[in-house]
Chain A
Amino acid sequence: GAVVSQHPSWVICKSGTSVKIECRSLDFQATTMFWYRQFPKQSLMLMATSNEGSKATYEQGVEKDKFLINHASLTLSTLTVTSAHPEDSSFYICSALPASGSDEQFFGPGTRLTVL
């Protein structure tokens, strides 16, 4: 149980285009989902916290107009990287917090974004 999927698992796009990444909790409902970014050989850095039905809370230094987050249902959150540039190339990982009250976040397998 507690499986989180991400789609796509990897994507290559041209500079200036937008890319949408989906995060789904497959067997549980998640009131809160988190988006992290991991640059090569670095740790995970929290980008934003997404609560179902409300606006996402972004960490300092993360541009909300560039990284659009939508959490429209209890099982789906999306991250859209708008006007992507090579410096946005990174590993994006989502996690989901069960609505049951568990404090453990369950992580997705990640999405590797390469912007040419």
Chain B
Amino acid sequence: AQKITQTQPGMFVQEKEAVTLDCTYDTSDPSYGLFWYKQPSSGEMIFLIYQGSYDQQNATEGRYSLNFQKARKSANLVISASQLGDSAMYFCAMREGIGGYQKVTFGIGTKLQVIP
């Protein structure tokens, strides 16, 4: 089974609207972390938000929030008030293991395009 599944190859959103990028994951590790990264065309990976498996509340970072539904194994990213600069690839990732023994697996990504 895929460890990280992103089912939306591409998404369009109107500027100033909110958009949800889907991510589901699969792990048997009780302790894990979920990340979202943004990759613009320049290639660098920009960290957006992190959710630990034991965190009780959904993570939020400015316009980014993570809708963490543990029972459903989903970790959707919500971007509010989209901006033109949000156009990029977005990767969901999961960390299993700790310290130097950790392994991060990435999804295939969702290409988000913000329309003026």
**Interface residue from A34, A91, A109 paired with B104 (Cβ < 8 Å):** A34
Interface size class of A (residues with CB under 8 A): 20 to 34
Interface pair B103/A46, CB less than 8 Å apart: yes
**Interface residue from B42, B43, B45, B104 paired with A46 (Cβ < 8 Å):** B104
Interface pair B102/A103, CB less than 8 Å apart: yes
Interface pair B95/A31, CB less than 8 Å apart: no
Q: How many A-B residue pairs have CB under 8 A?
A: 54
By beta carbon, the residue of chain A nearest B107 is: A43
> Would you call A49 an interface residue if the criterion is a C-beta within 8 Å of the partner chain's C-beta atoms?
yes
**Interface residue from A31, A101, A104 paired with B50 (Cβ < 8 Å):** A104
Q: Which of A67-116 contact B (CB under 8 A)?
A: 91, 93, 95, 97, 101, 103-110, 112
A109 and B91 in contact, given A32-B100, A43-B107 (Cβ under 8 angstroms): no
> Would you call A44 an interface residue if the criterion is a C-beta within 8 Å of the partner chain's C-beta atoms?
yes
- Residues of A within 8 Å of B100, CB to CB, are 31-32, 49, 51, 97
A103 and B91 in contact, given A34-B104, A93-B45, A110-B43 (Cβ under 8 angstroms): no
Q: How many residues of B contact A (CB 8 A)?
A: 22
By beta carbon, the residue of chain A nearest B31 is: A103
**Interface residue from B42, B45, B105, B107 paired with A107 (Cβ < 8 Å):** B45
A46→B102 CA distance, assembly (Å): 11
Closest CB in chain A relative to B27 CB, distance in Å = 15
Interface pair B98/A44, CB less than 8 Å apart: no
Interface pair B98/A103, CB less than 8 Å apart: yes
- Residues of B within 8 Å of A51, CB to CB, are 100
By beta carbon, the residue of chain A nearest B35 is: A104
Interface pair B99/A101, CB less than 8 Å apart: yes
Closest CB in chain A relative to B44 CB, distance in Å = 4
By beta carbon, the residue of chain B nearest A6 is: B44
For the complex of A and B, list the 5 residue pairs with the smallest distance between their C-beta atoms, beginning with the closest: A32-B100, A107-B45, A109-B44, A110-B43, A43-B106
